[in-house]
Amino acid sequence: MLRTHTCGELTIKDLGKEITLTGWVQKSRDLGGMTFVDIRDRYGITQLAFNSDDDADLRAKARELGREFVISVKGTVIERSSKNLKIATGEIEIKVSKLDILNPAKLPPFLIEDETDGGDDLRMKYRYLDLRRNPVRNNLVLRHKMAQEVRRYLDGLDFIEVETPVLIKSTPEGARDFVVPSRMNPGEFYALPQSPQTFKQLLMVSGFDRYFQIVKCFRDEDLRADRQPEFTQIDCEMAFIEQEDILNVFEGLIKNLFKNVKGIDLGEVPRMQYADAMRLYGSDKPDTRFGMQFVELTEVVKGADFPVFDNAELVVGINAKGCAEYTRKQLDELTDFVKRPQVGATGLVYCRYNNDGSLKSSVDKFYSEDALKKWAAAFGAEAGDLMLVMAGPAEKVRKQLNELRLEMGNRLGLRDKNTFAPLWVLDFPLLEWDEESGRYHAMHHPFTSPKPEDISLLDSKPGEVRANAYDMVINGTEIGGGSIRIHDRELQALMFKHLGFSKEEAQKQFGFLMEAFEFGAPPHGGIAFGFDRLVSIFAGLDSIRDVIAFPKNNSGRDVMIDSPSTISEEQLKELSIKTSN
Ligand code: ASP
C-alpha cells in the first residue's frame, strides 16, 4: 500500500513513528518561516509541518501545493505546539522528510469544507467533489451502516436475498413506467420495475418463504424533495404468516436499526386505524410527534345563521395551545397560508380564549360568548389557547386542516428532527375512487387482499371495503407499506374485474401470476420500505438527494454525466424507433 496510516489515526501515542500518509491537500498556510499543510482523506485530517531548517527544495515544493492536490508524504510524528483538541489528530503533526505530488489538481469550483460556498447546481455537476465533503460522505457511510444492519437482522431471521430482474414488463402499478426498447424484438419494450412485487410473490409460490432485497425501483413521476426517478426499497415478503407476524418482524427491523445505528430505543410502535388517522389528523401519515388532534364541531356550531358553517358537511378545528396572544398579523398569515393554492381553503375562523377568560372570535356576529364557550368545551381549550376552525366538504377540509396543523407544529417548534414518532397505520381502504378516470383504483396495488369480512361489500359499497394493508409512518413520512396478498386465483380475478380490467386484459397483464396461484400458492404478505427516505430521516435531512451518491435533479437529470441525452440515428434505427424526420 502507498501509505502506512490514514489521515485520521495518528495521535500522541504514535510520537516518533516514521510514517507515510497519502491524501488531498485541504489547505496550506505559509507563515514565512513555517508552512503548514493539512492533508485529508476520508478518515480525517493530519497537519504537516515544514520549517526553516528543512531542505530548501522540500519547502519550495510544499509552497507549490494547491487545494486538492493528491500527495504522499514521509515523515515523523511529533508533538504540536498549539494543539487542536477538537480533532483526533490535533495533538500531533508530521515533520516531513519527503513530499511527492501524486497528481496536481485544478482549483475546485467550490470549497471542499463542511460549509461550502457551492450552490446546488454546481455541487450536482461536480458531485464527485461534493462527495469529498464530510457531511455528504457521512450520509453515505450512514446509508452503508443501515444497509448492513438490515441484512444482518433479516439474515438472522432466515430471510434470503434474491435478485429479481430489472428488465420486466410494463404493468399499471400506480405510477408511469420507464420503458426500454428491445432491439431483438422490434416494436416491443421492457419496463423497469416500479417494485419487484409480482416476482416476490412468485418466490413465495416457489417456497422461498422469507425473501428480501435491497433493490432499485423506478417510477416516472413528477419529482419532489422526497422523490427520485430511481430509488431504493428494502423489499420483503413472507409466506405462512398473518398481518400480525409482518407487523412484528418489521417493527423489529426498524427498532433494530434505531438501536444499533442511532442508539435509540424506539419502544413499541403505536397502531392507528386508517379511518382514525383521517378523522383525527386528516392524513394517512400523521406526524405524531405532537398532538393537536382534530376536533369536529359540526353539531356544536350549526344553527347560528352563519351560512359557511350551516352549509358545510364538516366543521373541524385544532386547538393551538398557548397561542391566544397571536397578533392580527400572525392570524392573517395563517389565513393566507390556508388560502394558498397548495392548500386551497376559502378561509379560516379563529377564536381566542383570552388569558382573562373572555372569548373572542372572528365570527362574533354569529356566536355569543356563551356559544363560544361550547366551542372551548369541545376543544378542551383553556385560557391562553387559540382555536382554529375550518369548514367545507369533509374530505377536502380535513386535508386542508392537516396542512394547517403541520404549519402550526412548525411554528410552535413541535417537529424536532431528533424526536422520532413511529406509527403503524392499519386497515387502509382496498379501493380509491379516481375522479380522472371515473373508476376505482387499488389504493395499495391490485394484489392486496380485502379483509375477508368485507368481501361481500365489493359489489354494493366498494369504497368501504377495507384491505389487509398497512403503512409504517415516522414523523409524518410514509417510510414503508405493504399488505397481505391474494393467493387465490378466483379472488384475484374478482379484484381485476372490480378494477375495471376485462378478462382478456387481466389475462394479458397478469395471467402468469394467476396461473401460478393454481400451482400451490401459500398464504403470503409483505412490505417494502423506502430506504432513501429512511436514511434521510436518520440523517435528519428533508431531502433524499443527499443520501444518494449520484442523484438526479428536479427535472430528472443527472447534470454530471448529462443524462438523459439523445442517441444517434443508427441506434434509433437498430431499435426500430422511427423519428419524425
Ligand atoms: N410493492 C409495494 C410497493 O412498492 C410494497 C409491498 O406491497 O410490499 O409499495
Residue 295: name the closest of 377, 370, 355, 367 by CA.
Answer: 377
Give pLDDT, residue 42.
97
| Domain match, 426 and 407 both | no
Could you tell me if residue 128 is inside a domain?
no
Could you tell me if residue 254 is inside a domain?
yes
- Cα of 525 to ligand 1 centre, how many Å? 10
Could you tell me if residue 552 is inside a domain?
no
Could you tell me if residue 114 is inside a domain?
no
Does residue 312 have its Cβ closer than 6 Å to ligand 1? no
Domain CATH code at residue 49:
2.40.50.140
Atom of ligand 1 nearest to the CA of 196: 1
What does the pLDDT average to over 451-471? 94
Domain CATH code at residue 438:
3.30.930.10
What does the pLDDT average to over 40-59? 94
Give pLDDT, residue 384.
97
| Domain match, 176 and 257 both | yes
Does residue 154 have its Cβ closer than 6 Å to ligand 1? no
What does the pLDDT average to over 143-147? 98
116 burial (CB, 10 Å; 0-12 / 13-18 / 19+) is middle
- Rounded CA gap, 95 and 49, in Å? 5
Q: In the structure, what pLDDT confidence band is assigned to residue 106 with cuts at 50, 70 and 90?
A: very high
- Low-confidence winner among 185-199, 218-232, 376-390, 442-456 (lowest mean pLDDT): 218-232
| Domain match, 490 and 393 both | no
Contacts of 166 (CB under 8 A, 6+ apart): 192, 193, 216
Does residue 392 have its Cβ closer than 6 Å to ligand 1? no
Among residues 377, 411, 445, which one ends one of the domains?
411
Does residue 480 have its Cβ closer than 6 Å to ligand 1? no
Does residue 204 have its Cβ closer than 6 Å to ligand 1? no
- Cα of 197 to ligand 1 centre, how many Å? 6
When divided into structural domains, the chain yields a total of: 3
- Phi, psi (rounded to 5 degrees) for 422: -80, 160
| Domain match, 295 and 248 both | no
Q: In the structure, what pLDDT confidence band is assigned to residue 33 with cuts at 50, 70 and 90?
A: confident
Could you tell me if residue 483 is inside a domain?
yes
Could you tell me if residue 109 is inside a domain?
no
Does residue 446 have its Cβ closer than 6 Å to ligand 1? no
| Domain match, 221 and 342 both | no
Candidate of 237, 443, 445, 524 to mutate for ligand 1, largest count of ligand atoms within 8 Å of Cβ: 445
CB 22 within 8 A of CB 2: yes
Does residue 193 have its Cβ closer than 6 Å to ligand 1? no
| Domain match, 336 and 368 both | yes
Among residues 54, 80, 103, which one ends one of the domains?
103
| Domain match, 400 and 426 both | no
Give pLDDT, residue 172.
61
Q: In the structure, what pLDDT confidence band is assigned to residue 53 with cuts at 50, 70 and 90?
A: confident
| Domain match, 17 and 49 both | yes
pLDDT tens digits, residue range 388-401? 999 999 999 999 99
Has residue 173 got a pLDDT over 70?
no
CA–CA distance from 2 to each of 15, 22, 34, 139 (Å)? 21, 7, 27, 27
Give pLDDT, residue 349.
97
Domain hosting 344: range is 290-411
Does residue 475 have its Cβ closer than 6 Å to ligand 1? no
Has residue 224 got a pLDDT over 80?
no
Could you tell me if residue 569 is inside a domain?
no
Q: Which residues pair with residue 473 across a beta bridge?
A: 423, 478
CA–CA distance from 214 to each of 164, 230, 246, 458 (Å)? 11, 13, 18, 35
Helix (H) or strand (E) holding 528: strand 524-530
Give pLDDT, residue 554.
87
pLDDT tens digits, residue range 175-191? 899 999 999 999 999 99
Has residue 579 got a pLDDT over 80?
no
Atom of ligand 1 nearest to the CA of 485: 7
Q: In the structure, what pLDDT confidence band is assigned to residue 581 with cuts at 50, 70 and 90?
A: low
Among residues 357, 376, 411, which one ends one of the domains?
411
CB 238 within 8 A of CB 525: yes
- Rounded CA gap, 481 and 425, in Å? 9
Does residue 483 have its Cβ closer than 6 Å to ligand 1? yes
Atom of ligand 1 nearest to the CA of 482: 7
Atom of ligand 1 nearest to the CA of 236: 8
- Low-confidence winner among 10-14, 45-49, 507-511 (lowest mean pLDDT): 507-511
| Domain match, 240 and 302 both | no
Atom of ligand 1 nearest to the CA of 448: 7
Give pLDDT, residue 199.
97
Give pLDDT, residue 175.
84
Has residue 170 got a pLDDT over 90?
no
| Domain match, 156 and 87 both | no
Q: To the nearest whole number, what is the mean pLDDT of the chain? A: 95
Q: In the structure, what pLDDT confidence band is assigned to residue 439 with cuts at 50, 70 and 90?
A: confident
Does residue 450 have its Cβ closer than 6 Å to ligand 1? no
Could you tell me if residue 574 is inside a domain?
no
What does the pLDDT average to over 533-556? 94
- Cα of 536 to ligand 1 centre, how many Å? 20
Q: In the structure, what pLDDT confidence band is assigned to residue 523 with cuts at 50, 70 and 90?
A: very high
pLDDT tens digits, residue range 347-377? 999 999 999 999 999 999 999 999 999 999 9
Has residue 445 got a pLDDT over 60?
yes
| Domain match, 468 and 353 both | no
CA–CA distance from 507 to each of 88, 194, 306, 452, 497 (Å)? 64, 20, 56, 24, 11
Report which protein residue has its CA nearest ligand 1's atom 7.
Answer: 482
Give pLDDT, residue 293.
98
Contacts of 394 (CB under 8 A, 6+ apart): 313, 314
| Domain match, 223 and 183 both | yes
